[in-house]
Amino acid sequence: MNLPPLASFRPRLLADLRGYTRERLGKDIGAGATVGIVALPLAMAFAIASGLKPEAGLWTAIIAGFLIAVLGGTSVQIGGPAGAFIVIVYGIVERYGVANLLIATASAGVLLFLMGLFRLGSLVRYVPVSVVIGFTNGIAVLIGLSQLRDLLGLQIEKMPADFFNQIGTVARHIQDLNPWAFALGALCVIGLFIWPRLWSVDSQFRRQLDQLEVVSALRATSRLPAPVVALVTLTLAAWLLELPVETIGTRFGGIPQSPPAFTLPDFSWETVRLLVTPTLTLAILGAIESLLCARVADQLSNTPKHDPNQELMAQGVANAVVPFFGGMPATGTIARTVTNIRAGATSPIAGVVHALTLAVVVLAAAPLAQHIPLAVLAGVLLFVAWNMGEWKEFARLRHFSNHYRLMMVSTFLVTIVFDLTVAVELGLVLAFVLFVRRQSNIFRVDPVSRDGRQVVYRLYGSLFFGAVAKIDPLTAEMEWAPPGTHLVLDASHLISLDTTGLDALEQLQQTLEKRDGKLSMTGLNEQPLSLIRRSGFAQKLHPGL
């Protein structure tokens, strides 16, 4: 048996460097520096929300971002820690510990690389969009819920991982609300919504400022990313006013100013067996997120279409490496990729610059990070969660079929109440069952003519395991047909046939044979004809095929 060839390892960077110009380099440096600054608060926020130290997110963004840019199959995608992983990582840390998270991440990296190597990148496209929207919205709700502790300044030592216990824990401690923390978090969220609208082309604020002499300086300010503006201004306000709020320094003791050391997690095959489910979850979610992000990049940029298999191999290498430096799972990130594209990126060099910019900022300004209030980072994550969810899809449900509604709503609810793994499994099972039902409804057997002992029926659609029950009434009819009946099946509209459908036809032929009857099939298309001949059933038909 000839196996399909393995995917070749060809990073997009090699192709993009051909004919690379100084003009493109300038655009990539500008875009990369912009994204690097944007990634700073997000990387810290994602790590803290996942139950890890902030440096875990920062060095994941640096190391994984660099590797994904250099080895990936897209021109402008930015890799790093993502909001979609928060709920999964937090659950793994709570149940198995940080050391086992590192093992699961490295194992998921190996799986991702093998998925790309064996050309499985295209399979991710078969995940129904209703399932993707359902679990994306569910994750957004869980991210928002997980940030209530820091947003409200509640004195909760450790938040539980499941939905109902989180609600109960917050409700029991709501009397400890810190108004200063809540004010900082609320101002952060409001500012993140207002900042880009202030500087939009059609805003009244922008039109009034156009008449001032300092417009050039103000326009330079407008190019600052909203999360960075919120982080700097609110951190300064909290520090200058000496507000009684929890910060990175008070909870984690600050961020180390040196690069992380290479360390080996405590590895054993017994541990790996325990982590099968978390590993599969991280690998599947990483593949879906990275390839969805790559598709978004294809739509927004003028760069060549992404190579899904190369992208999965790059994601695999990144996730296999970062755990040895204390990192967390990484994937393609839509928000930072879109920022990269809008900033003018033309090649993976922008992703490399993004990682280097972030490394310089971390190494040079790590001591300042200890003053960042956790309530501000919570506000950033609430904004991320809001933008992550596709909330308009709930309003549009009335325009879609009941099948679509069932898959999306059930995936959404199961993601919130149970976990993402169960939600994706349920969504895919529902998609399979509903697809089988839809296809079985398409298949039908229609009478055409009856001339003495010759009866003609016509088959439509696909005769497969989900539709064979529609052959049973015809078989029952032939049990009472006159002896010597000749049944002709017009198969010119039969699209496909599987072995279960073939078995139903054989039973029909045997029923006729018992009453000295015969079965003919006409107009067979290529696939049904090939199966009938290979199975030997063709010799039992009249006349033989």
CB atoms within 10 A of CB 398: 7
CB atoms within 10 A of CB 98: 16
Please list the residues that pair with 497 across neighbouring strands: 463
pLDDT at 242: 92
Please list the residues that pair with 463 across neighbouring strands: 497
Question: What mean pLDDT comes out for the span 207-232?
Answer: 69
In the predicted structure, residue 327 carries a pLDDT above the cut 60: yes
List, in order, residues 6 or more apart from 208 with CB less than 8 Å away.
none
Low-confidence winner among 221-230, 255-264, 446-455, 533-542 (lowest mean pLDDT): 221-230
CB-based burial of residue 480 (10 Å sphere; 0-12 exposed, 13-18 middle, 19+ buried)?
Answer: exposed
Average pLDDT, the chain: 88
The residue ranking higher by pLDDT, 469 or 273, is 469
In this structure, are residues 352 and 69 in contact, taking their beta carbons and an 8 Å threshold?
yes
What tens digit of pLDDT does each residue of 511-529 get? Answer: 999 999 999 999 999 999 9
State how beta strands 518-522 and 486-497 pair: parallel
| Residues in the chain, total | 545
In the predicted structure, residue 2 carries a pLDDT above the cut 80: no
What tens digit of pLDDT does each residue of 32-41 get? Answer: 998 998 888 8
Low-confidence winner among 411-425, 442-456, 485-499 (lowest mean pLDDT): 411-425
pLDDT at 364: 87
Homologous superfamily, domain 443-540: STAS domain (3.30.750.24)
pLDDT at 400: 85
Question: What mean pLDDT comes out for the span 266-277?
Answer: 77
What tens digit of pLDDT does each residue of 137-162 get? Answer: 888 898 889 899 999 999 888 888 78
pLDDT at 1: 45
Maximum CA pair distance of the chain? Answer: 101
In the predicted structure, residue 202 carries a pLDDT above the cut 60: yes
φ, ψ dihedrals at 115, nearest 5°: -60, -45
Please list the residues that pair with 344 across neighbouring strands: none
In the predicted structure, residue 422 carries a pLDDT above the cut 80: no
Tell me if residue 332 falls in helix, strand or coil: strand
The residue ranking higher by pLDDT, 4 or 352, is 352
Rank 214-228, 409-423, 445-459 by mean pLDDT and report only the highest.
445-459
pLDDT at 175: 92
Please list the residues that pair with 493 across neighbouring strands: 460
d(CA 66, CA 370): 25
- Residues of the chain above pLDDT 70, percent: 94
Q: Which residue type, as a one-letter code, is found at position 344?
A: G
pLDDT at 129: 81
d(CA 421, CA 98): 20
Low-confidence winner among 44-48, 88-92, 210-214, 382-386 (lowest mean pLDDT): 210-214
Question: Two tokens at 134?
Answer: 């359902």
- Residues of the chain above pLDDT 90, percent: 51
Tell me if residue 450 falls in helix, strand or coil: strand
Q: Which residue type, as a one-letter code, is found at position 511?
A: T
In the predicted structure, residue 209 carries a pLDDT above the cut 70: no
Question: Two tokens at 131?
Answer: 């399932």
d(CA 161, CA 419): 10
Question: What mean pLDDT comes out for the span 366-395?
Answer: 89
CB atoms within 10 A of CB 190: 13
pLDDT at 215: 54
CB-based burial of residue 336 (10 Å sphere; 0-12 exposed, 13-18 middle, 19+ buried)?
Answer: buried
What tens digit of pLDDT does each residue of 66-116 get? Answer: 999 999 999 999 999 988 888 889 988 988 889 899 999 999 999 999 999
pLDDT at 66: 97
Q: For the chain, give every domain's residue range.
A: 24-198+212-387, 395-439, 443-540
Tell me if residue 513 falls in helix, strand or coil: helix
In the predicted structure, residue 348 carries a pLDDT above the cut 80: yes
Output helix, strand, coil percentages for the chain, rounded to the nearest 5: 65, 10, 25
d(CA 279, CA 421): 11
Could you tell me the pLDDT band of residue 168, with boundaries at 50, 70 and 90?
very high
State how beta strands 454-463 and 486-497 pair: parallel
Q: Dihedral through CA 107, CA 112, CA 116, CA 119, nearest 10?
A: 90
Question: Two tokens at 77?
Answer: 């995608």
Low-confidence winner among 253-262, 275-284, 499-508 (lowest mean pLDDT): 253-262
In the predicted structure, residue 349 carries a pLDDT above the cut 80: yes
In the predicted structure, residue 357 carries a pLDDT above the cut 90: yes
